[in-house]
Every structure is written in structure tokens, then in C-alpha cells.
Amino acid sequence: MSTKKTVFAGFFVALGVLLPIAFHAFGPVARILSPMHIPVFLGGLILGPVYGLIVGVVTPVISSFLTGMPPLLPMLPMMVAELGVYGLVSGLLSRKLNPWLAMLGAIICGRTAIVLVLLLFGEMLQIKAEPIAYVWGGIAAGAPGILLQFLLIPFIVKRLKMAFSHNELLK
């Protein structure tokens, strides 16, 4: 384990807790823009799959316990699965693909993880919706956030990687 990567993972977790708090100040915009997803993608794309997975799993758990967002039930298990997969898959795919394609693959896999959670635990989570319809509804409602993520994250990743390459910060 790299101490530098662990510190940055902690930073991304903290950002993942603080961004939604800031966005919630503007009302329901946080639900639409999914600000917790941004630092998870950054963690995966910059730090790699292992740290991306850690950031994706730890962020919603800490946020839930500190802020109540996401609610413990029914949202937390779905968000842990989704964001954990986002961090893992974006980290894996970024080794061979550009950030946009890595994010697209991660989103597809992360949404698939939600479907699996709903298929396996939907009744226990008291979610009556059909899993595929639930996920498509989430995509439709979150489309502005997905667009924002595709516009913002690859440029942040490029800038951070350029900055890191000059001082070998993450090596």
C-alpha cells in the first residue's frame, strides 16, 4: 500500500462526504447531479482499481453515518455496490482506455450492480420496483449528473495526472 495513495484516497472520501452536503444546500439538485460519484470516479481513474474500490465503498458508508445521506435503508447497500464498482471498474479500464470510456464501462457495471442488489435483496430492502425499471428511472433522473461527470471528470483527471507526473506524487 502506498502512503501517498492512501492519503489521496482519504481526500477523495472526504470530498465524497462534503460535496453532497454542499450540493444539498441548493435543494434537490444533489439527487440529480450525484456529487458523491465525482470523487469516486476520480479515485478510480487516478489511484487505480484497488483504491477506487475502497473510495467507492467507504464514501457512502461514512457519509451515511455522519450525515444520514444516503439513508441506511434502502439506499446505502445499493450505493455501496454501485460506487464500489464505479471505483474498481474505472480504475481497471483506465489502464487501457481513455477516461470517458472507462467511466462509461464503470457506469454500465455499477448500474448492473444495483440490479443485482435489487434482485438479491430488493424484498429485504422493501423496494417494490422492478430492478431494470428502477435503474432506468435512476438514469433518467440523474442524466444531468451523468453529463456533468462526463464533461468534468476527464479534464480534472488530465490536469491532476499532469501535475502528479511533474513531481511523481503518486508513484
3-state SS record for 43-60: HHHHHCHHHHHHHHHHHH
Ramachandran category for residue 130: left, alpha or beta (phi over 0 → left; psi -120 to 50 → alpha): beta
Give residue-wise pLDDT tens across range 145-157: 999 999 999 999 9
The cell for 52 is 477506487
Question: Residue with C-alpha cell 477523495?
Answer: 12
Q: Which domain holds residue 117?
A: 3-167
Q: Is 74 exposed, middle or buried (0-12, 13-18, 19+ CB in 10 A)?
A: middle
Nearest to 51 by CA among 102, 15, 9: 9
How many domains, the chain? 1
CATH number of the domain where residue 15 is located: 1.10.1760.20
CB-based contact 119:127 (threshold 8 Å): no
Give residue-wise pLDDT tens across range 56-96: 999 999 999 999 999 999 999 999 999 999 999 999 999 99
Q: What kind and span of H or E run contains 64? A: helix 49-67
Give residue-wise pLDDT tens across range 1-37: 799 999 999 999 999 999 999 998 888 878 889 999 9
Which residues contact residue 3 at a Cβ distance below 8 angstroms, ignoring those fewer than 6 apart? none
pTM of structure: 0.94
